[in-house]
Amino acid sequence: MSLTIAQKILQHHIVKGNINVGEIILARVDLAFANDVTAPISIDFLKRIGGKLYDKEKIALIPDHFTPNKDIKSAEQCKIVREFAEQNNIPHYWEVGDVGIEHVLLPEKGLIKPGMLIAGADSHTCTGGALGAFATGVGSTDIGFAFATGMLWFKVPPTIKFIYEGKRGKWVMGKDLILYTIGKIGVSGALYKAMEFTGPAIKNLPMDDRLTMCNMAIEAGGKTAIVEPNDITKQYLNVVGAKEGIFYKSDEDAEYDDIIEIDVSIIEPQIAFPHLPENAKPISEVMKKDIKIDQAFIGSCTNGRLSDLRIAAKILKGRKRDKHVRLIIIPSTPLIYRQALKEGLFDIFLDAGAVISAPTCGPCLGGHMGVLASGEVAISTTNRNFVGRMGSPEAYVYLSNPAIAAASAVLGKIGSPDEL
């Protein structure tokens, strides 16, 4: 039987059931993780069913959302997670100072490898598909179940194959490819489905851009996104010191739910308008609209990696933000923070009038470190622009890549680096 990568990885992990699309299977999970918002419910669930962990090596706890603790209630949530980690001697727990945004930290720590089946109590768990894993977001109860049993139930998804061809244009990043794709298929375009990103434009795409693309699969409703691992994957695994996983490939005659071809050369930097990620428009169209901004945010599990900060610095070097705009930059992990500092990017950011925060999910979900007031407008390198996502339900969030966000901070309105 011919199978897609998604099916092959699931098949390798099956305990009960069979790999036909649409069937519900019980499968072994190689890594189950949760954060400070979702883990307390998982821990409570685990206690209710007996409290014994299946394998503490296959668990990760990442307090990244409201840390450093934003208020007393959040501090209590983090305390639950910390005490659980200490009591159970969980090796993959990171305290503030070591912690970064989970979907950036876990690959960086070499914990996401090709061929793994990964479940995380956070919707952006699909990020891990960039490394050729089957990584999918689930709920807290699911993770509690996986903590206890090492297994989880899954519905075998159909796969949509996306073939990206052509050369990327100036200022066009992985973010633009995925916003364009979501714009094309809509926020429920891949509901319950796996998205497989293929084609010549993906084969050469740097790992940071692949991670950004897979990160936003959930914004199209996708269960996961997967990039076939290749030399770029190998290089990344070497750098982070991960022992290689299993490199799966879809069979040539595997059955796809749909095949969508995308010409990358016609894609401009994309801006997703409020209040859905599918409202993507090309920058040339947006520039004319003169959309004034109050805040620009560069960071998150989508775009807070070193290459994102480098491109922002390239644009901000020798320039200042518009005096009305708050420019907030958050490196996603302590390692990225240190690298950016070493490379001199912090001087460029500070000279430009930016504020740099410790790694946290913070502003992306309206938690802290940059919450929006009513009527305010933000350009943000994050993944969601729903009503109330970054603060007031009367605020407006536009999503973009970091080059556009940096340029917009200088311009005081949404615009392109070419306008500077």
Partner 1 sequence: MKGKVWKFKNNVDTDVIIPARYLNTSDPGELAKHCMEDINLNFAKKVKKGDIIVAEENFGCGSSREHAPISIKASGIACIVAKSFARIFYRNSFNIGLPLFECKETDKIKEGDIIEVNISTGEIKNISTGETFQALPIPPFMQELVNLGGLESYAKKLSKEI
Place of tokens 């793994």: 116
Do residues 266 and 176 make contact, with C-beta atoms less than 8 angstroms apart? no
Residue 137 binds to partner 1 (criterion: CB under 8 A): yes
Instruction: Name the residue nearer to partner 1 (CB basis): 297 or 349.
Output: 297
We find the least distance from the C-beta atom of residue 144 to partner 1, in angstroms, to be: 8
Instruction: Name the residue nearer to partner 1 (CB basis): 81 or 237.
Output: 81
We find the least distance from the C-beta atom of residue 397 to partner 1, in angstroms, to be: 11
- CB-facing half-sphere around the CA of 360: CA atoms within 13 A: 22
SS3 of 91, please?
Answer: coil
Residue 77 binds to partner 1 (criterion: CB under 8 A): yes
Copy the structure tokens of residue 8.
């092959």
CA 7 to CA 2: how far, in whole Å? 9
CA 119 to CA 210: how far, in whole Å? 19
Quick one: which H or E segment has residue 28? strand 24-28
We find the least distance from the C-beta atom of residue 365 to partner 1, in angstroms, to be: 4
- Binding partner 1 (rule: CB under 8 A), the pick from 11, 90, 110, 141 is 141
CA 130 to CA 196: how far, in whole Å? 10
CA 376 to CA 9: how far, in whole Å? 44
Residue 389 binds to partner 1 (criterion: CB under 8 A): yes
Residues found in the chain: 420
- Torsion over CA: 155, 156, 158, 163 (sign): positive
Residues of span 145-184 touching partner 1 by CB under 8 A: 145, 148-149, 153, 155
Instruction: Name the residue nearer to partner 1 (CB basis): 166 or 388.
Output: 388
CB atoms near residue 238 (< 10 Å): 11
14-16 and 24-28 beta bridge pairing:
antiparallel
Instruction: Name the residue nearer to partner 1 (CB basis): 117 or 410.
Output: 117
Residue 297 binds to partner 1 (criterion: CB under 8 A): no
Residue 420 binds to partner 1 (criterion: CB under 8 A): no
Q: One symbol per residue from 46 to 65: x for binding partner 1 (CB under 8 A), - otherwise; what is it?
A: --xxx--------------x
We find the least distance from the C-beta atom of residue 321 to partner 1, in angstroms, to be: 26
- Alpha helix ranges (H) inside 120-171: 140-149
Residue 73 binds to partner 1 (criterion: CB under 8 A): yes
- Which part of the chain contacts partner 1 (CB under 8 A), choosing from 164-172, 248-256, 291-299, 387-395? 387-395
Residue 122 binds to partner 1 (criterion: CB under 8 A): yes
Residue 142 binds to partner 1 (criterion: CB under 8 A): yes
Copy the structure tokens of residue 391.
């603060």
Place of tokens 């084969």: 203
Q: Please name the residues in contact with 146: beta carbons below 8 A apart, sequence gap of 6 or more.
A: 29, 32, 54, 119, 152
- Binding partner 1 (rule: CB under 8 A), the pick from 7, 13, 32, 45 is 45
Q: What are phi and psi of 141, to 5 degrees?
A: -60, -40
Q: One symbol per residue from 310 to 349: x for binding partner 1 (CB under 8 A), - otherwise; what is it?
A: ----------------------------------------
- Which part of the chain contacts partner 1 (CB under 8 A), choosing from 40-48, 229-237, 283-291, 319-327? 40-48
Query: Number of residues in contact with partner 1, rule: CB under 8 A?
Result: 51
Burial of 272 (0-12, 13-18, 19+ CB in 10 A): buried
Which amino acid is located at 350 in the chain? L
DSSP code at position 199: S
- Which part of the chain contacts partner 1 (CB under 8 A), choosing from 1-9, 138-146, 238-246, 374-382? 138-146
Instruction: Name the residue nearer to partner 1 (CB basis): 239 or 387.
Output: 387
- Binding partner 1 (rule: CB under 8 A), the pick from 266, 341, 387, 420 is 387
Instruction: Name the residue nearer to partner 1 (CB basis): 236 or 398.
Output: 398
Instruction: Name the residue nearer to partner 1 (CB basis): 28 or 310.
Output: 28
Q: Which one, of 220, 181, 222, lies nearest residue 201 by Cα?
A: 181
- Which part of the chain contacts partner 1 (CB under 8 A), choosing from 248-256, 297-305, 364-372, 404-412? 364-372
CA 392 to CA 200: how far, in whole Å? 42
Which amino acid is located at 285 in the chain? E
Q: Give the binding site for partner 1 (CB under 8 A).
A: 24, 37-38, 40-41, 44-45, 48-50, 65-66, 70-71, 73-74, 76-77, 120-123, 125, 137-142, 145, 148-149, 153, 155, 187-188, 191-192, 218, 221, 223, 276, 365-367, 384, 386-389, 393
